[in-house]
Structure 1
Amino acid sequence: MHALAAQAERGSDGAEMAVVPEPGRVESRRYDTVFDDALRCAAVLAEYGVRRGDRVLFCLPTSWTFVTAFLGCQLLGAAPTAIAVPTSFGRAAGFDGQVKDLVAYLRPAAVLARAAVVQASEAVTDTVFIDADVLQERAASAEASLQRFRLPSENDLAFIQCTSGSTGRPKGVMISHANLAANLAQSAAATGWSAEDTSVSWLPLYHDMGLISGIMVPVYTGGSSVLMPPTQFLRSPVEWLRNITAMRGTLAAAPNFAYGYTADRVRDSDLEGVDLSSWRMAFCGAEPIHPGTIQRFVDRFRPWGLRQDVFMPCYGMAEATLTISMSPHNAPVRVDTIDRTAAVTHGQVIDVDPGEASGMQVVACGAPVVGTEIRVVDGDGEPLGDNQIGDIQFRSPSRTVGYFDLPAETAAAIAEPDWWKTGDVGYLRDGEIRITGRSKDLIIIRGANYFPSDFEQAAEAVPGVRLGTVVAVGHRPEGGDSEELHLIVESYVPADQQEELRQAVRSAVSARSGVPVAQVHLVPRRSLPKTTSGKLQRAKARQLFIEKAAPAPA
């Protein structure tokens, strides 16, 4: 917020932020205009009763309304929380459950959303719903009073990040302004991000990578920023490349899947006029990084000016604000090939020839950013040396102050004195972290985290599915760029009705979560493995019914 005020003081010398709501239409504003619009939004939010210390739930697509209202909320001293916009409305889409649960959990003073969402929220009565278009109309004519805000202190909450993406009841990661400022400084130092840079982002603003790289770092450094809706990227990924070309973008971030998606979907005929020579850093994180995807992207777009050394693998999480480690820029991506059996069975890193069938490729995600420490520990919490696989922990001034209203969960995530348990597994080598897996059951699809229980509960509601006998797992097919959702379901329906049941399960899960189901595996009763206490064993179920059934690579 201090940086935003400073950028606004530059007036006509300041940089611009831009929103591209649809191809070919660019809406640009200088930082002084952004600041003024944010002040006006703050004034209107105050009229709705939002006060310092309150929480405000944002259910908005990428737009100027999101940007200025989000910043205005912070100027007011309230803590915004962004969530995904429902793709459809009504109970079948899980809207009631999602918003109702979030309102009950976060107890926001207001929910800011589009008219369609507001109209679908009649069942949610515990908060004020604000139509975003109405807020914008009132903000355009409001007198922005300097008395309605003061710059925040270090301990004030900057925002709350929901960790589970668009499904389920998430944990609210509380990020203070001190956490945010520390991580922005760390990211700028690690990348050389400056006022001369222009970032181009399609990432959703409810995702930590999209929020920080798309809005927060540009504001902090005084650089330019270009935001496009994720739906635009998914429909036509070449628009991302066209915006980088038109705006002379220098920085962009995306999960692994997006680079593979772009390389596969963009045709030569789409690339007329595309010039990627200005792109100096492509950050890759949020999900496991696959060397083949990176190389495929570079090879695909090198004829259009893409640098060979553009990629910067990185590692982060919402609990660190965003960035934990970053690879050095303008350096080759480092890949280890280690023995899979030794890694999984003994936690040992043994290098093997890249051509070995037992080899598992692991990408180096860089050294900790300045001020952050990483360690790898065994099951007893004792630190391990290099090339030993264990649980990854970090500590940093950017580390969350904890989960909102969840003291037990916060305490469980902290290893004394102040190390945070990431839930990921990996090893250190030459000061850089490598991620080999994760101890949590989270499913990561296209960079978004999902709780298996959300998919399982949706499937259990389908007639013909036995309650408590559904396992949801992520599985990355050979050569794939991201995990896919697989459901293993015990069923009692006869064989001639099983295809109909599969389709019903797919429809129910996708309607509730917005995530497509790659495959529904129907298995006989009492097939799913369980612990002695009766808990379903997801990892073992995946091994039994998916990995063993997967076709061997040619």
Structure 2
Amino acid sequence: MDRTLQRELYRRLDQSPERHALAYINNRGEFSWRTLEEVCRQAAGYSPRLKELGLGQGDVCILALPSNAFCATLLITTLLLGAVPLLVAPPILQLKGRYSNLTQVLRHMIRKTKPKIVIVPKAMMPMREELEGHQKRTHLLFEEEGLSPDLSAGIPQVTPAESDIAAMQLTSGTTGFPRVCVWQQRNVTAALDGIALAMDLNQEDICLNWTPLYHDMGLVNNFLLCLTKGIPLAMLNPIDFVNKPALWLRGLSDTASTMTWSPNFGFAITAEIVRDDQMEGVRLDRVRAFWNAAERIHLETIQAFYKRFAPFGLHRDSLKTNYGCAENIGGATFSDPHGPIVVEQVDDVVLQQKGMAQPIMRTDEGQRAVQVVGVGRPYPGIEIKILSRKGRPLPDGHVGELALKTPSRMSGYLGQTLETRRALFGDLLRTGDLGYMRGPELFWVGRLRERITTLGRKLDPSDFERVLLRIPNLRHGCFAVFGVDDAQLGTQRVVVVSEVRDSSTRPYRDIVNDIQSQISLQLGVKAYDIILLPKDTLTKTSSGKRRHRYFRQRYLSGELQSLRLSDQEKEENPPIQVQRSSEGL
């Protein structure tokens, strides 16, 4: 009998219909649990209308909605109908962004996937004609418009095959439009089985998630995993988390959650912003796993988070790491669910110049060391290989492209044969990520296409993040770093672009000097140009990734230089001083 998402869901529904399934935490921290039967019946209520509009088994349904209860319900409806969900970041998230491309991404996805139905927020009604013009046979719905649930509707029963498409997922799209990963049913169920084993998931667990459903961390590692494995899941809207990170920690305490997920920046801003008075009555003793994933993991961030919340019961060994990608359907490597993370200190110069991770126990005078955080071991069934540029396996400690032999890889990129051939290299999935192995542990160090080569050293943009995090008045995570070829120097010039907080009264020249000196001191390279920009300039991808290569193009065209903040401009137009609490960013 074929194993599919739908069959797993039906099995859970038969075995434990009254078990808690989902809770939605509002911006005041309030929530109530819904049973699996309640969740499925609510989702089934929307199925008659969607079927009437032609949505059936194998049809694509795009959900470009905020990650809230309505989006989660329609996602389940789509699955119950055997349709193929594709979650896309709603353009309303970046309406202020000068370089936002979310509207173009949505239009492109409508053309590319030819969906039967697209559901978007009501705020996008002025774009109705523009969006409807891209596919004549696509029905465009604005949230609840024409979607009144039929409470008498039964739960649809569908029987897709293991080889059928279960879902689609967008890649990061750091330079242009994201690619569409096609996920087959067999690969999704293999991923969920492997993730559950790696996390040592059990029926006593409760999960809380604030990451977006249009990101594979939110969709796979949280929503689909919990739904099919019978794990209660509390959901917090990502916007509410960003506005008030304390909601995350209070939610963990109030729901008695045992595990949660966040990218590194979430740990950083929570440790910095949350006040003691917001933690009154909060205990973190029960949480056995804070999974850190989706971007470069910095030891300094982990240490700061632990130091800040240890007084509230946070266990040091509850801080975990993970590596995954959309092409592999969720997480691929996981740190020990019952032990500490792995960290090693290596010679920074040897790492950057020779691509070798040479461990050092202590640093001699003049020697620069860097601490690299391990991202765990592959879950059962996955094998990892580190490849040279020629595709040959490299030994332990050598940096190369990370490749996976995995039962949970995508079947390909939709409509992109050449890109699929490049990624699916024989029985391997080539990820485009850089890393090295030390025994069974993987250490992630960057992206192949974003490497900066300057004076014989190879750096990743994420290497600069730990430096920029310590510079006062910069917005956390809102930066781009890239290399620009310089024929006279015979190497690349390092360019750093960062947003400045609105409330900053510090002279911009002082910030620039601080960035230059700290990069030189900590990384041993020179930043030839530093551009400070206003808030909401460096918009991210639909999956929240930084667009280093995209903004490199904007720099070379001269666009970023024209937006550069200057002290002269500040003197002529002093910022309005606004009283703000630390609840916002």
Same fold (TM over 0.5): yes
Using a 3 Å threshold, how does the CA distance of structure 1 residues 136 and 411 change in structure 2: closer, same or farther? Answer: same
Give the aligned partner of residue 549 of structure 1.
none
Counterpart of 1:424 in structure 2 is 433
CA contact (8 A) 1:7 1:32 kept: no
> Kindly tell me: are residues 190 and 78 of structure 1, through their superposed partners in 2, closer, same or farther at Cα, counting changes over 3 Å?
same
- The amino acid across from 1:362 in the alignment is V
Spell out the pairing of 1:308-347 with structure 2 (5 A cutoff): 308-347=316-355
- What residue in structure 1 maps to residue 178 of structure 2? 170
Instruction: State the partner residue of 2:42.
Output: 37
Matched, 1:366 2:376: yes
Counterpart residue number, 1:396: 406
Query: Alpha-carbon deviation of 1:152?
Result: 2.4
Indicate which of 144, 147, 151 corresponds to 1:133.
Answer: 144
Shift of the 141–503 alpha-carbon distance from structure 1 to 2, 3 Å rule, reads farther
Matched, 1:412 2:422: yes
Residue identity opposite 2:479 in structure 1: L
CA 1:27–1:169 in 2, change beyond 3 Å: closer, same or farther?
farther
Conserved 8 A contact 1:487-1:517: no
| Separation in 1, partners of 2:451, 2:123 | 31
Offset of 1:517 from its aligned partner?
10
Task: Find 2:14's aligned residue among 9, 26, 46.
Answer: 9
Give, in whole Å, the separation in 2 of the partners of 1:201 and 1:505. 31
Contact 2:540 2:546 in 1 (8 A): no
What pairs up with 1:29-68 in 2 under 5 angstroms? 29-68=34-73
Q: 1:103 aligns with which of 73, 94, 110?
A: 110
Query: Equivalent residue for 2:469?
Result: 480
Against the structure 1 CA distance between its residues 517 and 183, is the aligned structure 2 distance closer, same or farther, given a 3 Å change threshold?
closer
TM-score, L = length of structure 1: 0.80
Aligned residue for 1:350, secondary structure, equals coil
1:447 — aligned with what?
A: none
CA distance in structure 2 between the partners assigned to 1:290 and 1:325 by the alignment: 17
Which position in structure 1 is the counterpart of 2:576?
none
Distance 1:211 1:366, change over 3 A: same
Structure 1 residue 330, shift from structure 2 partner: 2.4
Deviation at 1:121, TM superposition (A): 2.9
- Distance of 2:307 and 2:483 partners within structure 1: 41
Q: Is the 8 A contact 1:506 1:517 kept in 2?
A: no
How far apart are the structure 2 equivalents of 1:348 and 1:72? 49
Q: Which residue of 1 aligns with 2:81?
A: 76
Q: Please list the CA deviations of residues 140-169 of structure 1 after superposition, one character each: whole Å capped at 9, or x if unmatched.
A: 4463364xx413221121211111279841
CA distance in 2, matches of 1:331, 1:198: 19
The answer to whether the 8 Å contact 1:70/1:80 transfers is yes
1:113 counterpart (120, 134, 138)? 120
Tell me how far apart the structure 2 counterparts of residues 480 and 503 of structure 1 sit (CA, whole Å).
16
Quick check: 2:97–2:539 contact (8 Å CA) kept in 1? no
Q: C-alpha separation between the residues in 2 aligned to 1:341 and 1:280?
A: 36
Instruction: State the match for 1:545 in structure 2.
Output: none
* 1:22 counterpart SS class: coil
Tell me the secondary structure at the aligned position of residue 120 of structure 1. Answer: helix
Q: Distance in 1 between matches of 2:67 and 2:477?
A: 25
In percent, how many aligned pairs have the same letter?
27
CA shift for structure 1 position 504 = 12
Q: Deviations over 1:456-484 (max 9, x none)?
A: xxxxxxxxxxxxxxxx9774251628654
Contact kept, 8 Å, 2:325 with 2:331, in 1: the verdict is: yes
Q: Mapping of 1:110-509 within 5 angstroms?
A: 110-124=117-131, 125=133, 126=135, 127-134=138-145, 136-137=147-148, 139-141=149-151, 143-144=153-154, 146=156, 149-164=157-172, 168-353=176-361, 355=363, 357-416=367-426, 418-441=427-450, 475-476=464-465, 478=467, 480=469, 483-486=477-480, 509=537
Distance in 1 (alpha carbons) for counterparts of 2:87 and 2:362:
42
Offset, 1:132:
2.1
Matching residue's letter, 2:382: T
**1-structure distance, mates of 2:139, 2:317:** 49
Deviates more, 1:126-135 or 1:259-268: 126-135
User: Quick one: distance in 1 between partners of 2:32 and 2:311?
Assistant: 30
Question: What amino acid is aligned across from residue 187 of structure 1 in structure 2?
Answer: I
Distance 1:505 1:307 in 2: 38
- SS state of the match for residue 122, structure 1? helix
Deviation of 1:10 (Å) = 3.8
SS for the counterpart of 2:45 is helix
Letter in 2 for 1:433: L
Alpha-carbon separation, structure 2, partners of 1:245 and 1:512: 31
Q: Aligned AA for 2:50?
A: L
Contact 1:5 1:35 in 2 (8 A): no
Aligned counterparts of 1:166 and 1:412: Cα–Cα separation in 2:
18
Distance in 2, Cα, partners of 1:379 & 1:518: 24
Q: In 2, are the aligned partners of 1:159 and 1:174 still within 8 Å (CA)?
A: yes
Please tell me whether residue 19 in structure 1 is matched to residue 24 in structure 2. yes
Query: Does structure 1 conserve the Cα–Cα contact (< 8 Å) formed by 2:350 and 2:358?
Result: yes
Cα distance in 2, alignment partners of residues 44 and 18 from structure 1: 25
The residue type equivalent to 2:111 in the other structure is A
Residues 269 and 54 of structure 1, relative CA distance in 2, 3 Å threshold: same
Count of residues paired in the alignment: 484
Report how far residue 239 of structure 1 moved. 0.3
Could you tell me whether the CA contact under 8 Å between 1:98 and 1:167 is conserved in 2?
A: no
Instruction: Note the residue ranges of structure 2 that are not aligned, 5 or more in a row.
Output: 1-5, 453-459, 471-475, 485-507, 510-529, 559-585
Q: Judge conservation of contact 2:291–2:321 (CA < 8 Å) in 1.
A: yes
Cα-to-partner distance string for 1:181-220 (whole Å, 9 max, x where unaligned): 1111101111111222110111011110011233111112
Deviations 1:209-260 (A, max 9, x none): 0112331111122010000111111111000011101100101011111111
Q: Contact 1:194–1:222 (CA<8 Å) still a contact in 2?
A: no
Q: What's the counterpart of residue 583 of structure 2?
A: none
Normalising by the residue count of structure 2, what TM-score does the alignment of the two structures yield? 0.76
| Cα deviation, residue 88, structure 1 | 5.5
Write the distance in 2 (CA, Å) between the matches of 1:349 and 1:442. Answer: 17
**Runs of at least 5 residues in structure 1 that lack an aligned partner in the other structure:** 444-471, 491-497, 529-534, 537-554
Change (3 A) 1:489 1:179: closer
Query: Do the aligned partners of residues 45 and 142 (structure 1) sit closer, same or farther apart at CA in structure 2, a change above 3 Å counting?
Result: farther
Could you tell me which amino acid in structure 2 is paired with residue 478 of structure 1?
V
Do 2:263 and 2:295's aligned partners in 1 also have CA atoms closer than 8 Å?
Answer: yes
8 Å Cα contact 1:473/1:485 also seen in 2: no
Maintained 8 Å contact 1:118/1:129: no
Contact 2:374 2:441 in 1 (8 A): yes
